[in-house]
Amino acid sequence: MSEVDPTAATVEDKPPRIQAIWILPLLVLVVGIYVVVQAYFEQGPTITVRFETAAGLQAGKTQLKALNVEIGLVEEISLADNLSHVLVTAKLNPGTESLLREDTQIWVERPRVGAGGISGLGTLLSGAYVELSPGTGTTGQREFLGLEQVPATAPGVPGVRIALYSDRSNSVSPGDPVLYRGFKVGKVETTEFDLESSQMRYTAFVDAPYDQLVTQGTRFWNASGLNLEADASGIRLQAGSLTSLIAGGVSFDVPDIAEIGVPVEDGTSFRLYPDQRSSETNPYRFGRLLVAEFEQSLRGLDAGAPIEYRGIRVGTVERIITSQIGEMHGAGTAIPVVLRAEPGRFGLGDTADALQQLDENLAFMVANGLRATVQTGNLLTGSLYISLDHYPDAEPALIGKYDAYPTLPTISSGLERLERQVATLLDKINALPLGDTVEELNATIARARTLLASVDKIVNDEATKALPARLEATLVELERAAASFAEGSELYGGANETLTELSQTLASVRALAQKLEDRPNTLIFSTPQNPDPEPGMGSQ
């Protein structure tokens, strides 16, 4: 090579230095890092929702919407470990944290056809999506339990949510109206069967301002269907509105006899009566459960039988406890009957305080002879009812305890009591020594007969027969003797004369006695002679 390398001189005429073009990859790098960092920090929240099924959901496709605004995307759908449900992981857009609250409700919006209308038609073409309805609780919730049914009422809507329960399903379904005197004021939200209590449970929402109508005295009843009743007064047909006739519904009102009370709070529980009439016949919410143990036949006494105090209804028979019938008991087992006494019927008011008052009153009344008895309500059907009344002569008793219930002392009464009394009477009669008595009586009769025979003999005697004639002769003589004392007879004149003389003698004796009184010395001294009175010798 020559001392001057033309290649070196021409090709690498300048020492290699950092070229300006390196700004380009640097710029890309910086922008890239910025985008990544921003995406990382502005990442929206990821939530996990638990659903029964993932029907209609697709990972990476199904959207999350709030009020139909897209707020996120379902990222992953996986089965739970025990295969009982699915876990849907969804990524939300940045800035949606405020939607994720404690009581946020999430459900899958699908096409639904119900009595209340058709909803979610839009999802027929677009496919199902996950709807989110933000609540009002604290934020920060990331795991949710998805609803299987569309909530009827969005959270935060003013009104009152109440719970209803009934013993059987009354064909009330979610979305059915809640009516007040025929006007729709709310709707039924959920229905479910509670296994523990074996009851249908419903939740219903009554919108403001009608929530003021739901008070403590309110009664709910099933308004769907027809109600036909026939009795002595004729035939009654009850029907709700056409909507409620077809779709069902729940009505409520305050029965006339119940107190209105104050508006209830959220979550208050009410019984759902099968119809309006039964809601009015059972208008009391508070009742004290009591147990009365009866030692007599309860055939004809059913749950629901009335309890009456001197003919006025004060409660209802709840049930008859039959679990202890087989217990060893010499005199037979008393059968406990659970009674429900309602303070409202006692005139104490339908409140919790009234229960206390009722307890006190009952204790006092029992101490004063209040007893429960079983009475025949209907002789034809033999149905019984429980009667409460005062029996001052009953053995003293107090309110006791049976399991958790206070007990009412009982006495047997009615037919049962009568039967017992008759039986006792018969027993006593049986116990009488009738045989001896009859024998003695027979002997007495025999002796009486002998007595009568001897009397007969005396009567038939000749002497006895002559007795009247001799009696008559005696009477004639007596009459003659009486005539000798008659006026004008000799004896009468002599006696009269003697009496006159006696009278004169007595007069002179009286004169003597007078003289002796005036002058006791007369018997010794002679009586001085008074001068004869002269005319003109008087005082001047």
Partner 1 sequence: MIAVESAAASGLTSCHTCYQLVSTQSHRCPRCHSSVHARISNSVQRTMALVATAALLYIPAMTLPIMRTVSLGTPMDSTVVGGVVVLWHMGSYPIAAIIFVASVFVPVGKLIALTVLCWFVTYGKGVTPQQQTVLYRITELVGKWSMIDVFVVSILVALIKLGDVLSFYPGVAALTFACVVIITMVAAELFDPRLIWDKAAQHE
Which residue, 57 or 164, is less far from partner 1 as judged by CB?
Answer: 57
Question: Whose Cβ is closer to partner 1: residue 46's or residue 297's?
Answer: 46
Upper half-sphere CA count for residue 35 (Cβ side, 13 Å): 6
Give the shortest CB-100-to-partner 1 separation in angstroms: 23
| Contact of 107 with 145, CB cutoff 8 Å | no
Q: Which is nearer to partner 1, 23 or 426 (CB)?
A: 23
Residue whose tokens read 């025949």: 376
Contact window for partner 1 (CB under 8 A) among 23-31, 190-198, 407-415, 474-482:
23-31
Structure tokens belonging to residue 93: 């857009």
Tell me: does residue 6 bind partner 1 (CB under 8 A).
yes
37: left (phi over 0), alpha (psi -120 to 50) or beta: alpha
Structure-block tokens of residue 515: 């003289």
Q: Which of 42, 53, 60, 208 binds partner 1 (CB under 8 A)?
A: 60
Q: Which member of 3, 22, 242, 535 binds partner 1 (CB under 8 A)?
A: 22
Question: Can you tell me the distance from the alpha carbon of 471 to that of 466, in angstroms, rounded to the nearest whole number?
Answer: 9
Q: Which stretch binds partner 1 (CB under 8 A): 55-63, 95-103, 508-516, 528-536?
A: 55-63
In degrees, to the nearest 5, what angle opens at C-alpha 29 toward C-alphas 25 and 35? 145
Q: Which two tokens stand for residue 484?
A: 């000798």
Nearer CB in complex with partner 1: 109/308: 109
CB of 61 to partner 1, least distance (A): 5
**43, 58, 78, 197: residue in contact with partner 1 (rule CB under 8 A):** 58
- 16 in contact with partner 1 (CB under 8 A): yes
> CB atoms < 10 A from the CB of 329, how many?
11
* Site string (116-155) toward partner 1, x via CB under 8 A: ---------xxx----------------------------
Q: Could you say which of 3, 11, 84, 138 contacts partner 1 (CB under 8 A)?
A: 11
* DSSP 8-state secondary structure symbol assigned to residue 50: E
Residues 32 and 52: their CA atoms lie apart, in Å, by: 41
Cβ pair 191, 173 in contact under 8 A: yes
Residue 100 phi/psi, 5-degree rounding, is: -95, 95
Paired residues of 222 in beta bridges:
250
Q: What is the CA radius of gyration of the chain?
A: 59
Of 3, 10, 462, 490, which lies in the binding site for partner 1, with binding defined by CB under 8 A?
Answer: 10
Cis ω before 209 (30° cut-off from 0): yes
Position 24 contacts partner 1 (CB under 8 A): yes
Is 528 a binder of partner 1 (CB under 8 A)? no
What's the min distance (Å) between Cβ of 42 and partner 1?
16
CA distance 358 to 287: 9
Cα–Cα dist 134/96, whole Å: 10
Query: Considering the rule CB under 8 A, would residue 7 count as an interface residue with partner 1?
Result: yes
- Nearest-approach distance from CB 89 to partner 1, in angstroms: 17
- Of 61, 447, 457, 519, the one binding partner 1 by CB under 8 A: 61
CB nearer to partner 1: pick between 4 and 380 = 4
Binding mask 63-92 for partner 1 (x = CB under 8 A): x-----------------------------
- 10 Å CB burial of residue 227 (0-12, 13-18, 19+) is middle
CB of 6 to partner 1, least distance (A): 6
Contact 103, 136 (CB under 8 A): yes
- HSE-CB at 510 with a 13 A cutoff on CA atoms is 6
Query: Could you tell me which stretch among 56-64, 229-237, 287-295, 502-510 binds partner 1 (CB under 8 A)?
Result: 56-64
Q: Which residues bind partner 1 (CB under 8 A)?
A: 6-7, 10-11, 14, 16, 18-19, 21-22, 24-25, 28-29, 32, 35, 58, 60-63, 125-127
